[in-house]
Amino acid sequence: EMAARVSNRLFSHKLNEVPVHLQTPTFALKWCEEIKKPPAVPIIVNLSIDSKGFYLICVNRVKKEVECFDLALIHDTRTGSQVSLPQGGVEYFDQNHIGLLDVPVTSKWLTIYYGNTFVASELRIVHFYFESPSLAREWTEKLFQLGHNQILRNLSSLDCLEKIHSKIIHGLIDLDKRKIPVRNLVQFLCKNNRDSSKVREIHQRLESLKLNIIDSTIDPNEFTFNKFFSLYMNLIQCHEIEKLFNAIGGIDCQYLNVENVKVFLKKQKETLNDATEMDLYEIKANDVIKKYSEHDEYEREKGMSNESFLRYLLSFDNLIVDPKKFDLCMNMDKPLAHYFISSSHNTYLTGYQWTGRSSIEMYRQVLLTGCRCIELDVLDSEKKSDEPEIKHKNTPVKPVLFIEVIVAIKEYAFKVTPYPLVLSIENHCSAKTQAKMAQYFVDVFGKNLITEPLKTHPCDGNYPLPSPNDLKYKILIKNKKISTNSPSPVSNNNNHQIGNQTPDAISATTSSDTSSDIGKLRCHQQLLNASPRHCFLNNDPDELAECTDVNEKNSSENPPSDGDTICESKATKAMSDLVHYLVPVSFKSFAKAEQLSKSFEMSSFSEDRALSLIREQAKEFVAYNQRQISRIYPRGTRLESSNYNPYMYWLVGCQMCALNYQTLGKTKHTNL
């Protein structure tokens, strides 16, 4: 049993398995991505996927050109009702009577969102039209499945070389001759940098491979991966690998025997020197030699050559990170507070906080990354209707309709992961609009929405939060909740009366109140002046403390750029009834939170305030996060949508580090 366990440590996960019929060319029409002058005419293409599942190969049958789409860069694939036809598409199909008599055009359509960014406006949108709806569905589903393979997105160096070889074979070929021009290969390896010495060296190394080069072309069937790997070794000249190889086997060693490999593996693992361990490593050494020398049966009998040894070093079996960790490997039955939750800040924005655009597509793209907490800043309609809208409050950012956003969320909430999705609501709506919001949530999300606590996990201080497995395929609302002792909000008429008073008048009418009460009224006065119809007078001092973070100071010259620092509307019963397990409260102190011990309450902190708490009360912060959830958001001065480093907050267990997904960079990639 122990021997089998060690032997199985060799990586056995498979890359994409591509059905044979998808490896053969399939007829399709490709729509032009840049349409300048309609009417546009689609391009006749053949689509296929290489046998290793690295690329979607698109062959232009008219121009005899090949484009290889990296499957790992496919964010999304859509067909049917989710498709938006490109400019000129409807006119073209109407004029040519396509899709009118049988089925809608969109059912035969495939749209691919492609690129290395999450911002929809920066992604390539590639359109294909197939002969039948079944073909469109199959390609849509299969490309999404292959593209989101975690192994494909975390390749070993050896697999990266196989990927490069696949692109050479399929992307550099002359379609008329069915050969690879040597000139194309040289340009590819030199990255179009015409260095004469490099060109000469490549030609020399190609000659040493003893390829049958005719008319300066190479037969792709002859240029196998083994030939390419030999070319790679000769070009990079791994002197450090040669030194290591000789250190293991001895000077002028040609092959490593089982004993050499066994000692090397043992030294790498630093295990105890006992007979049982050595026997196990002998079994693994034999497995390593067999696996990485299989390209040459004759050489395998002699042992492990320099080339085979390099293959092993570049493989999954020699990764620092165990490849099995790319799959779900955690126990998902712990309370929700025991997990880091990938979180987005101002999810709707495609650019800067002040001048960016709101986009429904951002919600789709962010959810496709596996993000489990997205933010919705909801306001009353600018057109004075009762339709809620999403935008950045007090900025020129144009809104998007709330209903369209949550429909998109419904479609993509669990497309890449079954674990619970949190909607962090920043609520600036009137009571009438909040009622409509709540109804939309119930109608659109249906059974996926948590509308009451689970029977096994009541919202009680004596119970921990439910686990991710308990909440699979569930959507949780994070929104202010009415407290049992909170007074009712004043009417809209009273709001306007207060809004029309000057600060001096407010002070005069409240001369008998305490200074803190005057401060509360001044806060509401400023907010009502900005937009009276958005607000309710909130007499709860605990909720008032959440209006502005103590570390965020906004001058009149710099309007608040982060919604977390602006007072929200008071929650209505309709919205309050949908809030369970994630009840936002004003943070008083760690001692107070421990005394209350309410796992279902959570607090949000600006990055600066959280960092200050980490410096002063790190142990208390850890204890807090073991029981309940904390959310960190960027400071208000990050107008360019830059990101803080979440690592500092993860160290004390902060679960939700909300980042700007539209801004790529080191800190953003740390979170992926």
The span from the first CA to the last CA of the chain, in angstroms, equals 37
Q: What is the distance between the alpha carbons of residues 62 and 19, in angstroms, rounded to a whole number? A: 27
On whether the CB atoms of residues 316 and 238 are closer than 8 A, the answer is no
Contacts of 567 (CB under 8 A, 6+ apart): 523, 524, 527, 535, 538, 544, 546, 547, 548
Q: What is the distance between the alpha carbons of residues 558 and 550, in angstroms, rounded to a whole number? A: 17
Contacts of 149 (CB under 8 A, 6+ apart): 15, 16, 53
Among 75, 127, 165, 392, the active-site one is 392
Structure tokens at 446: 């249906």
Task: Region of 196 please: left (phi>0), alpha (psi -120 to 50) or beta.
Answer: alpha
The CB density around residue 481, as the number of other CB atoms within 10 Å, is 24
> Tokens 């030294």 label which residue?
267
496 belongs to the catalytic site: no
Strand partners, 74: 114
Strand partners, 584: 602
On whether the CB atoms of residues 149 and 16 are closer than 8 A, the answer is yes
Angle at 343 between CA 339 and CA 344, to 5 degrees: 180
Q: What is the distance between the alpha carbons of residues 363 and 148, in angstroms, rounded to a whole number? A: 18
Q: What is the distance between the alpha carbons of residues 205 and 228, in angstroms, rounded to a whole number? A: 10
Q: What is the distance between the alpha carbons of residues 551 and 487, in angstroms, rounded to a whole number? A: 29
Q: What is the distance between the alpha carbons of residues 337 and 115, in angstroms, rounded to a whole number? A: 34
Exposure of 550 in the CB half-sphere (CA atoms within 13 A): 8
On whether the CB atoms of residues 562 and 634 are closer than 8 A, the answer is yes
On whether the CB atoms of residues 381 and 387 are closer than 8 A, the answer is yes
The CB density around residue 308, as the number of other CB atoms within 10 Å, is 22
Nearest to 41 by CA among 75, 102, 91: 91
Q: What is the distance between the alpha carbons of residues 315 and 294, in angstroms, rounded to a whole number? A: 14
Structure tokens at 422: 């949190």
Q: H-helix or E-strand containing 278?
A: helix 275-292
Nearest to 526 by CA among 506, 509, 543, 541: 506
392 belongs to the catalytic site: yes
Exposure of 260 in the CB half-sphere (CA atoms within 13 A): 19
Among 345, 428, 524, 580, the active-site one is 345
Structure tokens at 29: 């029409």
Structure tokens at 262: 């066994």
Structure tokens at 493: 């008429």
Active-site positions?
345, 392
